[in-house]
Structure 1
Amino acid sequence: MRFPQSRFRSPALVLTIGLTFAALWSAAAAQPPVDDVSKDYSSELPRIPPHEPAEAMDTFQVQPGYELQQVAAEPLVASPVAVSFDENGRLYVVEMRDYSEQETERLGTIRLLEDTDEDGRFDKSTVFLDDLSWPTAAICYDGGVFVGAAPDLLYAKDTDGDGRADLRRVVFTGFDRSNVQGLMNTLQWGLDHRIHGATSSSGAALRPGDDAKTRPVTLRGRDFAFDPRTLKVETTSGGAQHGMSFDDWGRKFVCSNSDHLQLVMFEDRYVARNPYLVAPSARISIAADGPQAEVFRSSPVEPWRIVRTRLRVSGVVKGPIEGGGRAAGYFTGATGATIYRGNAWPEQDRGLAIIGDVGSNIIHRKRLEPDGVGLVGRRIDEKSEFVASTDTWFRPAQFANAPDGALYVIDVYREVIEHPKSLPEMIKKHLDLTSGRDRGRIYRIVPAGFKQPKLPRLGGATTAELVALLEHPNGWHRDTAGRLLYERQDKAAVEPLRRLTTESKSPLARMHALFALDALAVLDAESVLRALADEHAYVREHAVRLSERVLEESTEVRRKLYTMVGDDDPRVRYQLAFTLGEISERRRNEALSQLAMRDGGDSWVRLAILSSLSTGAGDVLARVAADEEYRQSDAGRGMLEALASQVGANQQKDEVTELLAVIQSLPPNDSLLAQSL
């Protein structure tokens, strides 16, 4: 069938729309003679009408080579904020109809969308689950769906085949609800066969839903992950606002409203093992153009934003004055940070970072480049955006990698997206914060000339077929195959997986096979050793991480790790610095010392080394201090001072003795270093 597609290409059309909006916004843009809390601002705050689904397609500008196709709209869906595809290509949609002030009305639903004629456009809609308050996340598992609806994380399942959930239970509870725009969100399947979630700014004191006596897990400033089979939960690094994604190699990306692209640099568990280490935030901004970078919207600035900025600048109302007093033109509502992992787009665009800005009605993209052991994101589109709309109702809040290899765009489609407490009362009373809760759209971004592939039916795949799918070029297929293998726990997968770790030409498949073996509790030292020698650096990196499963039992694996201080890839050595801390024997200190002298000038590698030294810092300090050239370098002094600080915090007698011995042995020309230690 013919898709509703973006058709906005005409400069004349742009001018016509611009002139139409100019009349509407002229009152808001004009500076009134006097601002006051008692003033009636109704004349400056006109209501903005929506576009019907078909009409909305004319409002989009899309970069050449791509198309935006509408795959669902009201009445099939309303207020969508998140989605999850099941193994057969059906789409579960989280509908947050009660955004933003309907805290007690329980209007939220999970809707099941199906494409019954397989033309790529959904045509059947069923309410799978209702009576939810502020739902924000969902992920498919074992024929059902985990649903995030603070304070709870629920599991719901349809057991009789009618499309509606008849099983519903609270799995975890304790997510805070104090901020409607800081709720838990974004459930994602990880390489480690855990479900990962973003806690956001509200935090949590998380405990099992059926056990009020269990000591809660505190998630303030941290994210979480849980095993869907055992329901064991753990803290993870993160703690950004709304949106979280992994790339093909398991690196984690997040964002906040005014910090549009962030990378998580380390796992929380590594720094938690060393109580003497003062660690920086694991979450860092990686956008080359800055956290609150300039954006190039095609929509007019909403009147309420103009008035609010003016009132803040003049001091009539309190609130942050951002952008130098500009009402728009920079990231203010960044959300849904997602790494494109599909196979429909051109090869050079796979792995791009995609971010929406619900306040600017745009979709932004960045190319990721190596930057030491981290990454940097660089703007692709000069003075324009990947997708932009003249419709201020366009609110791209989330994205999803899909079975067809495309990227799906989740458009809440609301007249106003803003925290109620951020709106001064003299503005808020002229707005309707519920306007649009009966509307919503889902799009997909595809390359020009895209041909609809056959809908996958992985639910009926054999174990052997699932193993083979770990080589699929689409990330959705690899993740879903891995999830189904984990659900089934079929030991018939073991030998094919072991063959895949060595015989596959795809490094991604070799990595996935290693994690699948681990998920089946059959990862052995032999498989790890082969992977530690893999030709691809990122496979070696993950093999180092997975070696932690067999370190205690395998002397050979430990010996191999000690030799990997000479690995050519910095990310392999970075992971090695963390993993060596899982070894208790003193010999690991020699390897850590070698890493310190090679990479200690990198603050992240230094952190990894220190995380591994809850004990042994004195020994490593003595080893690296013995090298005069390193000792007198800037990197060496920084490393030695950090080690000395850790020895001082630890106060173990033997390590303090080693530190004092080093200081006493330093020659006169190292007196400044001696004083700093």
Structure 2
Amino acid sequence: MFAVLTSYKLISMPSPTPYRVILESTGLAWLMLLTTNPAFAQIPKPTDAPKPLAPEQSAAAFKLPPGFRMEIVVSEPLIASPSGVCWDERGRMFVSELHGYNLAGQLDIEELNKTGKLDTQVRRVQADEKFKRAAKAGTFGVVKWLRDTNGDGRMDAADVWATNLPPIYGLVPARGGIIVACAPDIVFLADRDGDGKAETRDVLFTGFPTGELERGINAPQWGADGWIYFGRGWGGGIITGPHLAAPVELPGSDFRIRPDGSAIEPVTGATHTFGFAMTESGDRFTVTTTVPGIFIAPLPWYYLARNPDAATPSLEIATGDRRAYSISKPHPWRQKRADDPAYFKYYNSRYGAAESEATGWFTAACGPMVYQDRALPGLRGQYFVCEPAGNLIHRAVIEADGSALTIHRASGEEKSEFAASTDAWSHPMNLTHGPDGSIWITDYYREIIEDYSAIPRHLQQQYGVYAGHDRGRIYRLTHHDAPPVPAADMSGLDTQALARECASPLFWRRQTAQRLLVERGGNPLIPAFSPDGREGARRAVEGEVHGANVLQEAKKILRELLADKNAEPSAVIIALRTLDQLGALTPSDVRPFISHADAAVRIHALQLADHWFAKDEGRALLDATLTAAAAELSRCLPGSSASGSACAGWTPLSCLRCTGVAWKCSAPSCASRAAPRPSSRRSRKPSPRAGMNPNSPARSTSSPPPSRTRGPPCSMRSPGAARTRRASRSLTNPRGLPSRLSLRALSPESAPRRARWRTPSSRLWRTRNRWCRQASYRPSNKSAKGRSGNSSRLWRGRAT
């Protein structure tokens, strides 16, 4: 029996039955038991379906490099359908849960099974709308607080900290609470009364689109700049919030927010599925289901918005290797689909070998991370990405390729994976830095992880698509030589101790120390005084004075860290960024790091230096920057006479990895030079067709016009192996900066008619449409809803 209510409140979902939803409506309790219908017995249940393993067995099923081990931290019944994990400053572990995945498909086939007939028609079909509506009752999010009560390293108690939320796609600590991504909202949760429940629930932003459950806004992560970054999921929308001055219209790009909800803005690039990774320099990698790594051009959105004539970069596929070397036996439905000639032809003609073959390809890449700790030997700076459909975790080495970053398999793993499991129910889908420096792995443990629509319907009818929805595992990847770590609770550290923690070798401690210093800000101490009376006022003033002195001590410690010639680059970056967010950074703090030996430090320093370039106090800083840029260009052009300030003035936009900032220069000596031409080739995701080797070198389909001058090597994308490119027309904007599309042309004010956008090149049209989604942005007000004409559609990034 199915019950669809127009108004309900979800109370709980614990049940030994396949699924049970308790609803409360108009004072009455409704019980909806979606159990297996007797007619289901008419469809024979296959005997070859894989069986789940015990948690300890599942952890032991991973094949790892020597010295590494996988430990189970928590499993069902304490958690179910986990989607992410984080720790607050007290070291408390929180897990988000995402319930309802594939539920609509299960309801659909249970109704179909009442007929007793198998649907063998070759097609890909979604569940009926009535079952999608019914599934919403069982689609929700939960945050749990997990505890280790006996100190054995394994969680043995779980409290529901927050429930009745939309499905949660990730969480991050902030302001003494937790911020969760749960489309259509971003919500701040906090327990202010100490009862173990989050009674504070502040919707910071709302208006994000919803659709397929796995494509919501996702993977919130702190950046070193004090913003929280999100993957776009479905992307775009008019976003409102109680702390915003006006609604903001986002394009279809990733975005970032202020933790207090006071600001939201787009960032370059887009996460199409789940998760993205950030490097120490602030570069980002995203993924698609079949591409395990996409490098986002290192040109921040705010530079693009500030300079409408800037050349528009493109996303670069960081690797052409899309093979996944699973050691588990593929689920029988996958093998049967591959063995069926009709289905093989259907899927191969539409999706290529990745979908038509039983195994061997990335089909669900998600949850990437760049490991920035030192606890696990040999992994620092390496790139990891989950492939839940293949029951594995892939490792890659990051290398610079001119101004881009590429990834390739680690030595010794050319035909294997870093971590692969023989347990077909194990589906790693998210990776997180733990307080101890280990990698914590969220396992969406269940029989089938694939979207139900990808499975032939007659196989859905036999195997089902919802088994294991009440299960979930979280593992800790550690090493025999991992050093002991201090207690995770940092809430009791004073401000000076937090400043020293900015130099910690552990990523979580550095990040938490920075966050707490900034959150304490000008109030590093909370004076113990009564708010009433003269004595209370006197003690309040004394507390503020003492607090200011303590903050000065913290700033002094951070500057001592900057003065340490042996300081690690990660510590220097955190110290610079923390001083900046405390409002204490000066040009003299930044200047020594403009020419630092580490590229990540240079990039952060140059981005911070931009604050003062237009001010008198920044003149010396600007001179130092131009000198460093000239030296960098000289290194890019061996034997070149490029030196001095005249050359540095035309630092190309595509040399952002060298200079860190976008430049506009109107000096005659600069304008007269032929601007270095960025690559006019746009990356294309090649579908791995049958018989195609994705590791073979791809042809470059474009060559520079003879009348153009090639720029320095760092401004070019090399046409190396495993990279497929598409030719696109190169335009030159009025300033002489080469670009695919001038951002000025992306303004609806300057191009109110569609004819201005269209060109004979359909490839160029698609390029325009992509960058309208990724780079265009403007605040809007509620009356914008009534905008007419082409411009409103263009700002939404739609091809009209």
Deviation at 1:643, TM superposition (A): 8.4
Residue 279 of structure 1 aligns with which residue?
Answer: 312
CA contact 2:45–2:463 (8 Å) conserved in 1: no
Which residue does the alignment assign to 2:336? 307
Matching of residue 389 in structure 1 with residue 421 in structure 2 = yes
Do the aligned partners of 2:185 and 2:204 also contact (CA within 8 Å) in 1? yes
Matched, 1:77 2:127: no
Contact residue 354 and residue 363 of structure 2 kept, 8 A: no
Please, which runs of 5 or more residues in structure 1 have no aligned partner?
1-39, 574-586, 653-677
- Which one of the candidate residues 672, 693, 698 is aligned to 1:622? 672
CA distance, structure 2, for counterparts of residue 248 and residue 572 of structure 1: 23
Other structure's SS at 2:211 match: coil
2:580 is paired with a residue whose SS is helix
1:468 to 497, 500, 516: 500
Task: Tell me if 1:514 matches 2:565.
Answer: no
Q: Is the 8 A contact 1:103 1:134 kept in 2?
A: no
Counterpart-to-counterpart distance in 2, 1:421 and 1:523:
53
Amino acid at match of 1:455: A
Distance in 1, matches of 2:357 and 2:560, equals: 59
Corresponding residue for 1:635?
A: 710
How many angstroms does 1:431 deviate by? 3.6
TM-score (norm 1): 0.78
Task: Select between 330-339 and 490-499 the one with higher mean Cα deviation.
Answer: 490-499
Correspondence for 1:356: 386
Partner residue of 1:338 out of 366, 369, 388: 369
How big is each residue's C-alpha offset from its partner over 1:327-381, in whole Å with a ceiling of 9 and x where there is no partner? Answer: 21011111111111222211x3212211110110011111222322332222122
- Measured in 2, the distance between the counterparts of 1:336 and 1:570 equals 39
Amino acid at match of 1:541: I
1:653-664 equivalences in 2 (<5 Å): none
Q: Which amino acid aligns with 2:477?
A: I
**Aligned counterpart, 2:614:** 552
Give CA deviations for 1:199-241 in whole Å, capped at 9, x if unaligned: 12x1131523348993332231x11111113521111123122
Looking at structure 2, the residues matched to 260 and 71 of structure 1 have their Cα atoms a distance apart, in angstroms, of 27
- Secondary structure at the aligned position of 1:93 is classed as strand
User: How many Å separate the matches in 1 of 2:247 and 2:454?
Assistant: 35
User: Which amino acid is 1:148 matched to?
Assistant: A
For residues 146-203 of structure 1, the C-alpha deviation after alignment (integer angstroms, 9 at most, x for no partner) is 0111101100101121221011121111221122222111111101011111112x11
1:50-449 alignment runs, 5 A limit = 50-101=52-103, 102-200=135-233, 202-210=234-242, 214-220=246-252, 222-229=253-260, 231-240=262-271, 241-266=273-298, 267-277=300-310, 279-281=312-314, 283-287=315-319, 290-291=320-321, 293-309=322-338, 310=340, 311-315=342-346, 319-323=350-354, 325-346=356-377, 348-380=378-410, 381-448=413-480
8 Å Cα contact 2:606-2:659 kept in structure 1: no
Q: Distance in 1 between matches of 2:493 and 2:636?
A: 35
For 2:313, the aligned partner's letter is P
Question: Aligned pair 1:495/2:556, yes or no?
Answer: yes
CA distance in 2, matches of 1:440, 1:296: 24
Matched to 2:464, the amino acid is D
Letter in 1 for 2:394: H
* Aligned residue in 1 for 2:663: 612
1:372, 1:570 within 8 Å by CA — same for their partners in 2? no
Q: Is the 8 A contact 2:403 2:657 kept in 1?
A: no
Q: Give the whole-Å Cα distance in 2 for the aligned partners of 1:277 and 1:250.
A: 20
Amino acid at match of 1:231: S
Residue identity in the other structure for 1:158? D
Shift of 1:126: 0.9
TM-score, with length taken from structure 2? 0.67
The whole-number CA distance in structure 1 between the counterparts of 2:403 and 2:172 is: 31
**Partner in structure 1 of residue 566 of structure 2:** 505
User: Structure 1: how far apart are the matches of 2:507 and 2:223?
Assistant: 12
Query: SS of the counterpart of 2:497?
Result: helix
Aligned equivalent of 1:540, options 589, 602, 610: 602
The amino acid of 1:612's aligned partner reads W
CA distance in 1, matches of 2:578, 2:153: 31
Question: Is 2:604–2:660's contact at 8 Å kept on the other side of the alignment?
Answer: no
**C-alpha distance after superposition, 1:14-46 (max 9, x if no partner):** xxxxxxxxxxxxxxxxxxxxxxxxxx9967785
Shift in Å, 1:320 = 2.1
CA deviation after TM superposition for structure 1 residue 140, in Å: 0.5
* TM superposition shift of 1:619: 7.0
Is the 8 Å Cα contact of residues 175 and 204 (structure 1) preserved in structure 2? yes
Residues 549 and 116 of structure 1, relative CA distance in 2, 3 Å threshold: farther
Change in CA separation of 1:385 and 1:537 when aligned onto 2, cut-off 3 Å = closer
Matches within 5 A, 1:586-597: 591-593=648-650, 595-596=651-652
The amino acid of 2:343's aligned partner reads: R
Distance in 1 separating the partners of 2:89 and 2:57:
33
* CA RMSD, Structure 1 to Structure 2 (Å): 3.4
For the 8 Å contact 1:45–1:430, the answer to whether it is kept is: no
3-state SS of paired residue (1:430): helix
Q: Does 1:562 align with 2:626?
A: yes
How far apart are residue 468 of structure 1 and its match?
Answer: 0.5
Question: Does the 8 A contact of 1:336 with 1:398 survive in 2?
Answer: yes
- Taking only the aligned residue pairs, the percentage that are identical comes to 29
User: For residues 463-485 of structure 1, what are the alpha-carbon distances to aligned partners after superposition, in whole Å with 9 as ceiling and x for unaligned?
Assistant: 11111111111111111111111
Q: State the distance in 2 between where 1:376 and 1:610 align.
A: 21
- Give the CA deviation at 1:544: 1.0
- C-alpha displacement at 1:632, in angstroms? 8.0
Contact 2:629 2:659 in 1 (8 A): no
Where does the alignment leave 5 or more consecutive residues of structure 2 unmatched? 1-41, 104-134, 523-550, 638-643, 677-705, 716-728, 745-800
Distance 1:159 1:119 in 2: 29
Aligned-residue offset at 1:65? 1.6
CA gap of 1:417–1:569, structure 2 versus 1, over 3 A, is: farther
Q: 1:211/1:366 Cα in 2 relative to 1: closer, same or farther (>3 Å)?
A: closer
Which stretch of structure 1 is more off in the superposition, 309-318 or 69-78? Answer: 309-318
Residue of structure 2 equivalent to 1:675: none
Distance of aligned partners of 1:651 and 1:469 in 2 relative to their CA distance in 1, 3 Å threshold = closer
Which shifted more, 484-493 or 53-62?
Answer: 53-62
Q: Identify the structure with the greater helix proportion.
A: 1
Change (3 A) 1:450 1:570: farther
Query: 8 Å contact 1:342–1:407 — kept in the other structure?
Result: no
Whether contact under 8 Å (1:244, 1:336) holds in the other structure is yes
1:332 aligned partner, one-letter code: T
Question: Which letter does structure 2 place at the counterpart of 1:71?
Answer: V
Asked whether the 8 Å contact 1:108–1:132 carries over to 2, the reply is: yes
Distance 1:212 1:610, change over 3 A: closer
Kept in 2: contact 1:246–1:339 (CA 8 A): yes
CA distance in 2, matches of 1:119, 1:569: 55
2:10 equivalent in structure 1: none
Which residue in the other structure is 1:582 paired with? none
- Contact 1:175 1:203 (8 Å CA) reproduced: yes
Cα displacement (A) at 1:499: 2.4
One-letter amino acid of the counterpart of residue 167, structure 1: T
CA distance in 2 between partners of 1:212 and 1:164 (Å): 27
Contact 2:276/2:368 (8 A) holds in 1? yes
Aligned residues, how many? 581
